[in-house]
Structure 1
Amino acid sequence: MANIRKIKNKPRKDGSVKISWRATWTGADGQRQSKNFDLKGEAKTWLDGVSAGLVGGSSTMTLTQLAEAHIANFHGLIRAGARRTGTADGYQSILDAHIRNHKIGRTRLSNLRAPEIQVFLDEIVQTGGSINLARQIRRSLGTWCRFGVRRGWLLVNPAQACAVEGDGEKSDAEPFSLPPKAQLSALMKAASESDNPERDSAIVRILMFGGLRISEALGMADDAAVVKTTGGKLRVKERIDRRHRTIDPPKTKKGQRDVPIGQATALAIRAWRLKRGPVGHFQHIDGRRERRLMSGRLFPNPKTGEGVWGYEDFIRDGWMPLMRAAGLVVMLPDGKGKNRPIAAFKPHVLRHVAVSLWLAQNPQPKPKKVQELVGHATLKMTMDTYGHLWRDEEEDDAIAQASERLIS
């Protein structure tokens, strides 16, 4: 609760008494705080700002200006190597596409309240935006407001109390469909019979049996694949940024990992290296947007024989030809009525296939081990994605039988 009260100070030597006005409020930590002013109007203006979560002289700052200040600071962290370009691009995209030209972007921080943010998020969903989009916008708003609190422009985070209706009902948390074994076999056969069977077999096996993200496979340095005739391991230390083609480290420390591979995959990599020949160092941009000398990639750009193979180029020149050869492409009309080739599944699905193959073994690997192999930041993420695969029908039946015996 906030209030303003008149304060009579001790009489001066000339007998006059100075009057001041004390604004008192409850801070974000729950402690009562106060500040004295010469004029009642000054105390009221200050208290109105504090009540809105505003501090200091930022009464004219808008939400757009707050977001721009955060993004500018974020780019400084990128140059220092502490943050990645892809994240900054995400913030910029949210700002430009959804905040800047909306009335909430012009809202002053002194007028920014949780109800206004909640109405905005509800509007995103009600006008056709997806739950995932609304969730991304909410996260960005929360990040910007926390930045404002740290800078002293806001006392509290008005986005913290907001939620996305339907949040928690994530479609990607539902059990996903894996391709039938016949389709996977057809893909493997197409890779072995392609115009470049050594390369295509190696990359399909790395995705299908190593569970790597496509960005990790395309960004892998040649010396990060340690193979022997009996097997080997893939040292995941770098990835390709899809938009900028920069070579970045994984987003989290858990993403840096060693993934074991079997004999057939190791031999496929060896065969590809013999066909490809040695790869040399090259100049490229890293996650700090700095050009530096980098070692050759396991899968260099096929047109030049060096550098990196970008995601879009891989899909067009590598993935789609394989899927066509495997009979896994259909022609579907787009929004303009023109038929477009659509693959039965994307490369990322092979990551799910890898996990399903690990869990098909007896005994199954522990969830913590699967988290380590796929490089998830948290165990919760692993369980949200693959928890439905940990099924033991015999154990389920035993539980059901035992529960009946407790009563009968």
Structure 2
Amino acid sequence: MRVREEVAGPSTPSAGGAEGGPLRGEQREQLRSGGEKAGARQLVFGGRALVPLDLGEALAPVAALWAGIGRASTRTWLAGRVRGEVGRLRGLVDPQLAQQVLAERLERRLRDQAPRSVGDLVAWLLKRGLAQRPGCWSTLCDEGIRLDTRGACESCQVLVGDRRGLRRAVADQVLEERLSGQLALPQQELGREVERRLQEAVREEMARKAAARERAVAEQAGREASYEIKRQVFAQAQWERAAAPCADCGVPEASGLCLPCTERRGIEAAVRDAVVFALVLRFDPDDAPGTRALWQDCERATRAVLEERLVQLREQGVNEASLSWSGRRLMEELRDRRQQAALVRLGQQEEAEQAARMAAAALRRKQLQPGSAASRDAVRAAEEAARGRVAQRWLGELIAELRTLVSLGPAPAQGTDWACALPELAAQRLPGDDRAEQAVGSTRERVSA
């Protein structure tokens, strides 16, 4: 059964202690007007505004003033500004010390200005508390104090020393002019003359710095304009390269070479290199015609392998673009295998083994624990590296000799008058100097041994 509001129950005592009490509307009026009830309402519906938990260390000096910010939206906005300053300080000092640095700044500026005179904490933080005020050019300076060490700023001390030196120089000049008779001033006017000349010198220095800044701004503007011109020229050249047709097949807008032609060129280069690595240990340096014939035979055999693989791929339904890609990969793999085989053969020669032994001995002398597994692995790596260096050097010399023989031109035709041709051929000088020729000859003798 419901109880009407007009009937006072035992569980609803009146304000004066009698039975019955005010209705809800009357109770709200009493809570607004009564001092004791008003205090109870403030305790229930709102507490003291505290600083954000993540900014407790940074805002500790102004924690007592933070409660004076009436609106929650203002506190939220201001906390965002404080977080932004803390984030900026994390980029200048140790991130763990950023809040401590900001707290020291606020405490220092509150100490310079009595806390009671801070009427509006929001305005004070924005205009005075949060702003960093460097006394010099350093980004770590804040009112002559370094943010990272919290010590005196050396750059500011240098500026102070410069100002003191300037004052001393001006005072010495005035005194010298007075003693020499060039300046006729009484003793009491010397200080004013020093201050006047010092102000003039400072103004001249400020004018020079302003002119230097203007020149720097003009130079920067000139550099930016030059960079913009270069960017435009580069963009135009890039567009022209993209619009250029293929040099081989003439396809428009192929950046000078289309993808199929690029793959075909890659195949040709891989075939030539594969032939070189196949013949580098087989050719006879004294038989140029035989070397050229061997080159042609090896090239035909290599192209036959390529064509056989391409025929298999065509039978499987692979398109032409994929055929070119697969052919290039096949030739590159064949080239790499032949190169590795040549390096292995060259690395087995006595000079390569001797270089490996010397590298291993030199490394063992430097090791503190020669018997450990890591030391043995390092020695083996040093041996392989030394052996590989010798093999690479020999391989380069032999390749240069092979290419020279192949590029001498076609073999003489049958029926040539050798009595006339041989003296002319003997008088021709091969490319390279004598030292290179001797090195190649000695390499051939060592490899053939």
Give TM-score scaled by structure 1 length: 0.24
Greater strand share, structure number: 1
Higher relative contact order (CA 8 A, sep 6+): 1
Greater helix share, structure number: 2
Question: Which structure has the larger Rg over C-alpha atoms?
Answer: 2
Give TM-score scaled by structure 2 length: 0.22
